[in-house]
Amino acid sequence: MLRKVLEEHRARFPYVSVPAVRAALVNAGATVQPATVNRYLVEFLRAGLIHDAGRGWYSFLKDAIHLDHEPVAELVAEVRKAFPLLRFAAWSTAQVNPWMHHLIGQPVAILDVEKDALDGVADRLEAANWKPAVNPRGASARRFAPSPRSVVVRPLHSAAPESPDGFASPEQALVELRLESGELALMALGEFQTMATWLATERRLTVGTLLRYADKRRLTAGDLFWNQLAALFEDFATD
């Protein structure tokens, strides 16, 4: 019966949560213990029928999302060279271009660094011919105009996913892009949600990490995705 439940879910959604599987089994009249469900899910995972999507989530998408590092590779190398012990995460709007209906003309690079290092990092970048904008908000954010080698330097949130190589994870980049879309007027909300939904249904996200970080940034699944996918994630976001 569990295999049938998964197949039915797969026909509608690219992801499934453990609570959703248990609820479907109950609705089907099954009396399967949670430990038994978990054991079978692990067996299906090992067989390649489902794939890990983090913290009680599985996906039917085999290929995990990978953001091209090239757009921020030089930036990461510069910061790593100057501040080898600094925790930071870099990403760029250019990294989501494959899932955009309309390409972003002038990419915007974002560098999230520890708060007390903002000015020092900005000074170093400026000396290396970058054009840093330190944490622009309000009027200064509205005046920001992206140009070659411009980079927005923001405080790194304490709950941000780990990025030991300096490249922001796809989950962090998506959440931060949603926030920056409004702050820096990078794109309309509908355009962002269309891109995010397309990305999440084509490549596998770590849903547990995404939803946990979105919650810390005061965002819901409905802020990120469209329609059924948003509803799926919202129903079980706290499980």
Q: Residue 10 domain-assigned?
A: yes
pLDDT value, residue 55: 84
Q: Based on the domain organization, do 144 and 211 belong to the same domain?
A: yes
On the question of pLDDT at 219 being above 60, the answer is: yes
Residue 2 vs residue 134, higher pLDDT: 134
What average pLDDT does this structure show over 99-126?
92
Q: Based on the domain organization, do 53 and 83 belong to the same domain?
A: no
C-beta of residue 149 within 8 angstroms of C-beta of residue 155: no
Last-in-domain residue among 41, 62, 83: 62
Residue-range definition of the domain harbouring residue 26: 2-62
Q: Based on the domain organization, do 211 and 123 belong to the same domain?
A: yes
Q: Based on the domain organization, do 88 and 50 belong to the same domain?
A: no
Q: Residue 85 domain-assigned?
A: yes
Q: What is the pLDDT of residues 25-67, one digit of tens each?
A: 878 777 777 788 888 899 999 999 999 999 889 999 999 999 9
Q: Based on the domain organization, do 51 and 93 belong to the same domain?
A: no
Q: Residue 239 domain-assigned?
A: no
Last-in-domain residue among 44, 62, 80: 62
On the question of pLDDT at 238 being above 70, the answer is: no
pLDDT value, residue 95: 96
Q: Based on the domain organization, do 75 and 154 belong to the same domain?
A: yes
What average pLDDT does this structure show over 208-223?
95
Q: Based on the domain organization, do 130 and 224 belong to the same domain?
A: yes
On the question of pLDDT at 239 being above 70, the answer is: no
Model's pTM, two decimal places?
0.90
Weakest mean pLDDT among 32-46, 82-96, 164-178:
32-46
Q: Residue 107 domain-assigned?
A: yes
Spatial separation of the C-alpha atoms in residues 225 and 227, rounded to whole Å: 7
DSSP state of 204: B
Q: Residue 175 domain-assigned?
A: yes
**Average pLDDT of every residue of the chain:** 91
Q: Residue 118 domain-assigned?
A: yes
Q: Based on the domain organization, do 111 and 182 belong to the same domain?
A: yes
Q: Based on the domain organization, do 88 and 154 belong to the same domain?
A: yes
Q: Based on the domain organization, do 106 and 153 belong to the same domain?
A: yes
The tally of domains found in the chain comes to 2
What average pLDDT does this structure show over 226-234?
88
Q: Residue 89 domain-assigned?
A: yes
pLDDT value, residue 38: 86
Weakest mean pLDDT among 27-36, 130-139, 203-212:
27-36
Buried-state track 196-210, b at ≥16 Cβ within 10 A, e below 16: bbbbbbebbbbbbbb
What average pLDDT does this structure show over 132-147?
93
Strands 150-155 and 131-134 turn out to be parallel
Give the orientation angle of helix 2-10 with respect to helix 18-27, to 10 degrees: 110
Last-in-domain residue among 42, 62, 82: 62
| CATH number of the domain within which 29 lies | 1.10.10.10
What average pLDDT does this structure show over 83-92?
97
Confidence of residue 236 (pLDDT cuts 50, 70, 90): low
**Structure tokens belonging to residue 191:** 């355009």
On the question of pLDDT at 17 being above 70, the answer is: yes
Bridge partners, 111 (sequence order): 90, 153
Sign of the C-alpha dihedral computed for residues 16, 17, 23 and 29 taken in this order: positive
On the question of pLDDT at 105 being above 80, the answer is: no
Spatial separation of the C-alpha atoms in residues 117 and 119, rounded to whole Å: 6
Q: Based on the domain organization, do 133 and 27 belong to the same domain?
A: no
Task: Provide φ and ψ at 8, rounded to 5°.
Answer: -65, -40
pLDDT value, residue 59: 95
On the question of pLDDT at 18 being above 70, the answer is: yes
The number of beta carbons lying within 10 Å of the beta carbon of residue 66 is: 9
Spatial separation of the C-alpha atoms in residues 148 and 79, rounded to whole Å: 18
On the question of pLDDT at 102 being above 80, the answer is: no
Q: Based on the domain organization, do 8 and 95 belong to the same domain?
A: no
